[in-house]
Structure formats: C-alpha cells, structure tokens
A and B are shown apart, each in its own frame.
Chain A
Amino acid sequence: MFEDIGNLFHGFAVVAQPFNLILMVVGIVLGVIVGVLPGLGGANGIAILLPLTFSMSPTSAIIMLSCIYWGALFGGAITSILFNIPGEPWSVATTFDGYPMAQKGKAGEALTAAFTSSFVGALFAVIVITLVAPLVANFALRFGPPEVFSVYFLAFCSFVGLSKEPPFKTIASMMLGFGLGAVGLDQVTGQLRMTFGFEQMLNGFDFLIAVIGLFGIGEILLTMEEGLSFRGKVAKLNMKVVLQTWKELPRYWMLSLRSCLIGCWMGISPAGATPASFMSYGIAKRISRRGHLFGTGEIEGVVAPETAAHAAGTSALLPMLSLGVPGSPTAAVLLGGLLIWGLQPGPLLFTEQKDFVWGLIASMYMGNIVGLIIVLTCVPLFASILKIPFSVIAPVIMVFCAIGAYTVHNNTFDVMMMVVFGIAGYFMKKTNYPLAPMVLAIVLGDKAEEAFRQSLLASQGGLSVFWSSGLVSTIMILGLIALFWSLIQNTASKLLGLKREPLPAE
C-alpha cells in the first residue's frame, strides 16, 4: 500500500517532465477536438494517432493517448449542451437536460456543471484504480490459462447480459469479431487459416482498421444520412458563472457519489460509459425530488450522466491495466497500443513496468486537472469548430481516417478494408448490432484462443478444466450469471409480480 503511494509519486515525477507535460496538453486539446467533431470519437481518434507514437517512449505515448481519451470525454459534453448533438454516444443523456438549459440561457451553468462533474467522476475512478488495480494485479499473478480464459469469458458474457441490444445480436457481432481476429497466422501452430490464398490476409484483420472503419467511416455515413445542420447556442463562460455554479454543486454530493459508483461498476464490467450515463440519469430521475422536471433543464440531469460517463470511461482502464481485459473500445485501442510498443498488458505490468503503469496513473490525475482548466477556459474556441460546415469537415475526417488506416502497416489494402468496415458499421449500427463487443473480440481473439487451447491441452480436451478449482469455477459462474442476466431479471420480476419501469432514455 505505502509502496504504491511511493510509486505514484515517482509517477508524478515522470509526468512532470516538460516533454510529457506538453504531450499532455496536446493530447487534451486534440481529444476535445476529436470529441466535438462528429465521426471522430475517442476510440478512432486514438487509433488514427497511434502510429505517430511509435517513435516515442511507451510512457510518453500512453500519456498523450490517454489524454486524448480524457479530452474526448470532456468534448462530448460541449456539443450536447450547445448544439443538442451528442459528439459521443455517452453524452446522449447529457442532451436531455443540457440543451434545454442552454435554450434557457443557462449554457454557462450547464457547461460548468458538466465539466466539473466529469472531473469528479474521473477523479473518483482514478482513486479507485490507484487503490484497487495493484491488488487485482497481484491477485491475478496466480492465474493460469483456465483462469485467464474464465476472465475473458466473464468480460464477454457481461456484454451480452448488460447490453440493451438483443442478446443474439451481441453474440453474433462478438463472435464475428473473434472469427475476424482468427484469420491469418495461427499463433499456436504457425499454420495459415482462412486466408483462401489471398496474400493480403496473412496478417489477419487488424483491429485498428476495424475501429477506424466501424466508428469513423460508419459514423460519417450515419451523419450524412441524417443531414445534420448545426445550429448552436452561443457559449459564454466567465469566471462568475463558474464560481456560482461551483457554489451550487456541493448540494448534489449524494447524486455525485451514486453516479460515481454506477459509473465505476459499469466501467469495470465492460458495459461502458454509454449505458452508465443512461442508467445514472434514469435513477437520478426516479430518486430526485425534482425528477418530474427532468428534461426541462435541470442541473441534476446534467450532473448525473456526466459523472457516471467519466467514472465509467476512466475505470474501464482498471481491468485493462490489471488483467489485460479492456473495459471499452477506447481502452481496447490503448491495449493494442501497449502490444505495439512491446509491453504485455496484464498483471505482470505492475511488477515489470512500474514507470509505465504509475506514470499512466499519475497522468490520469494530472490530465483531468489540466483538462478541466482547458475546457473551462477554451469552450468558445472548441464550439467554433462546429461552425465549420460538414461538407468541409467530412472529407478532411475521411482523409485522416485513411492516413490512420494506412500508417498501421503501411499498406494501401488496409485503407480499402477500412471502407468495407465502414459500410459494415453503418448497416450494423442501423440494425442494432453493437460494435464494441466486435472490436474487443478482434483485439482479444488471439489471447482468448491461446488461453482456451492451453487450458484444453492441460486437460486433454475436457471442458471440466474450467470447473477444476474454486477460483476458476467462481469466475465462470459469475460469467454465466452475467450471460443470462436479463433472463434472470425478467424471471425474478415476474415471480415478484413487479413490472420493471423502462428507463426513460429509450
């Protein structure tokens, strides 16, 4: 415990180097821009910029990329409140009360509340990471292949159980991801599989290409279909409004705490920031005394989803760091980055790469403080980005996506694959197939398969290896509960004669 605190201070020293501080500011600014622009989000923004970091030290690289993530989380709120356009899926719930507040001329209050509660949520999650991640990693050091596979099993089952999409659609897109990840060289036997003689498929489908295509190109196609026109409210944010709102916010400490807990829970189990923000909003609406006024511009309706979204987005890094299982697509891209920089994500990271891990954790504290200052002072600047018409922004985003896809392997075939993934993403999104599990499956495919095959090898093919010890059976049972969660919930509520109130968000 005390050793960890010492490590953390060492981490702060790493982050405080001038070069790393500059990267942090650059990352936050890029992140906010990425969060504000439609078609560019945290995940594909990081995927596009990942190749630029190949020449940096891993610690500097992760500081910049994670700061893009924090920036994107902040940026989503700006467009939701001022333009009623969620820049990111997790800020959809923020539009419900944020935009009405802006219409009433209280944009400044809404923005301050959103940024501050984002900060609180993130800070809470970082503290959780600081305290819990080393313990989890320490515990996970004892894991053998069956345990590792059972953790993957639990992660993917939680997707099925917690997703609001039909379970078989989640399973279909997840398994398709595993299939795509398996194409190419087999890691265990060195055999080629499913390439059908196409040379380009030797290396399989890189998840970075999938991320850029599914989230970047797909998103632009969706935006084009809706024919967006931006009509925003004017952003004015002066110190007086900020201080006034800050004076008001401590009143909602209970709401904040609850949203933090919801966010952390949803972030660690790979449900992610988007459901966390909806859930937090829904619960706040039900519990609050002013709940019936939600949707007309209540400050609580901004605090709840923003706190939860940030807590979830940040805590998604906990399982990524300590177990090697990312809690969100963006965390998955960061995990991919670790692999490219030559680091093995998972429990060993905490013992073998102390500088890296604690530098990252320290940068989470600093990055969120720097981020809060930057967004509070530069809102009008960022909002003016949306004044640039879509017919200029769209091709420029396309160009950046193409560059990002090319630089992954210096391969023009990947750029074409990106467009194919983009079309697939458009259709899947429109027909409610969730994309996040697919991306996570492509990233983790090889590792999950390896763990699965090694377990089977040890047991000579018997599936009983997954029930062989108390630990592995517990995780598997948790996984099964998560898998059938909605079924269990429905049965339970039927038995109790309760009718589940639908969340107001849907």
Chain B
Amino acid sequence: MNDTVHDTGGTGPSHRSVEIGVAVAMAILALIGMYGSAKVGIGWGAEGPRAGFFPFYVSLIVLISCVVNLASVFRKPSDGRLFAEWGQLRQVGSVLVPTAIYVGLVPYIGIYVSSALLIAVFMRWFGRYGWPLVLAVSIIVPILTFVTFEIWFLVPLPKGPLENWLGY
C-alpha cells in the first residue's frame, strides 16, 4: 500500500530490518507466554486441562508463525525498500514523545491540566499558532470535557492538585 511512497530518495531503516524486529519481538512475547503458562501447569489436572494449557499452545503457535515469517523475510533478497524515512520517523517521534509524557503526567496532575498542556504544545510546536488561539483551544477543550463527563454523564476522570484546590 505504501510501496510507492517511500522510493523518493532519503534514507531510513529498511523495511526488512523492521520486519525482522517485529517478528522477533512477537517471538519473545510468545516465549514469555509459554514460560508463564508452564509455571501454572500445562498438563491435565483434577478438573480437566490446567490453567496454562490453552495459553501455552497459543503461544507455541505464535512462536512457530514467527519462525515462518522470519524465514520468509530471509528467503527473499533485500529489495532496498525503506520502512520510512528518518524525517518521517522524526515526525512520528515528535507525536509519540509528547503523548508518552502526557500519559505519564495524568496520574499526578490530572487529565484536565495535562490535556491542556498537550494541546498547547501541539498547537504551538506543530501548528505555530499565536498564543491567544493556543490558550483558547487548550483551555476550552478540557473545560468542555469536564462539563460533559463530570457534570453531565457523572463519569469521574483523574484529577490533580488544581482540581482539589478548586474544590472538586
């Protein structure tokens, strides 16, 4: 689907190496799953198959599939196709890093304040909007969310010091 997009010069990790990486990561998960299942027993217990029976064989199938997928990557000669250009990956990273920080902040300062920060960072950094608009959007969206969830639907969301100070 993306074949045509990436052959426009530029450098980046090859599709092949990422393909191998994904297969290996899945295989590791499968091994963890097999180990975890083996710990609770994969055999036949007093009340039928033990708890680890089903997940063990499921993980085993994942492992086998990963081996087949890896083999099919290695069988084909490298076609030089890129996974993505470094510039594109930087774009992805520049979304991912603020999001990861955002998610990490939620338990401490509440979802409303951190959402305001996330929106502000995005609009200022990528959109290069003027401060008035940035502040307007980043403050109005959390307030609307607050009204919808806490007051209208009575669904509590994580709150931090600011909300405590305001008496919620």
Contact = CB atoms under 8 A, between A and B. Distances in A.
Contacts of B21: 427
Given A225-B89, A415-B103, A175 B51 contact: no
B91 A224 contact: yes
A191 B51 contact: yes
A415 B106 CA distance: 9
Given A221-B96, A225-B84, 16 more contacts: A168-B69, A189-B45, A194-B32, A217-B99, A224-B94, A226-B5, A391-B127, A394-B95, A398-B102, A402-B106, A402-B115, A410-B156, A419-B100, A430-B83, A431-B19, A461-B44
A51 B18 contact: no
Interface residues of A, number: 64
A453 interface: yes
B2 A430 contact: yes
Interface stretch (A176-184, A261-269, A301-309, A379-387): A176-184
Interface in A399-438: 399, 402-403, 406-407, 410, 412, 415-416, 418-419, 422-423, 426-428, 430-431, 433
A50 B62 CA distance: 31
Contacts of B153: 52, 55
Contact of A395 (B47, B88, B92, B123): B123
B104 interface: yes
Nearest to A189: B51
A179 B33 contact: yes
19 contacts: A55-B154, A166-B72, A168-B65, A176-B30, A176-B62, A189-B47, A192-B40, A225-B84, A390-B126, A394-B95, A395-B119, A403-B149, A403-B157, A419-B96, A428-B22, A430-B18, A453-B49, A457-B49, A461-B49
In this complex, the member of B26, B66, B141 whose beta carbon has the largest number of chain A beta carbons within 10 angstroms is B26
B158 interface: yes
B20 to A, nearest CB: 10
Interface of A: 51-52, 55, 166, 168-169, 171-172, 175-176, 178-179, 182-183, 186, 188-189, 191-196, 217, 220-221, 224-227, 389-392, 394-396, 398-399, 402-403, 406-407, 410, 412, 415-416, 418-419, 422-423, 426-428, 430-431, 433, 449, 452-454, 456-457, 461
A220 to B, nearest CB: 7
A225 B92 contact: yes
Contact of A175 (B61, B100, B123, B127): B61
Contacts of B58: 175, 178-179, 182
Interface of B: 2, 5, 15, 18-19, 21-23, 26, 29-30, 32-33, 36-37, 39-40, 44-45, 47-55, 58-59, 61-62, 65-66, 68-69, 72, 83-84, 88-89, 91-92, 94-96, 99-100, 102-104, 106-107, 111, 115, 118-119, 121-123, 126-127, 129, 137, 141-142, 145, 149, 153-158
Contacts of B129: 391
B50 to A, nearest CB: 7
Contacts of B51: 186, 188-189, 191, 193
A456 B40 contact: no
A499 B91 CA distance: 42
A197 to B, nearest CB: 11
Contact of B111 (A191, A217, A403): A403
A229 to B, nearest CB: 12
B30 A179 contact: yes
Contact of A402 (B15, B22, B94, B103): B103
A194 B49 contact: no
B61 A394 contact: no
B126 to A, nearest CB: 4
A423 B30 CA distance: 18
A456 B51 CA distance: 13
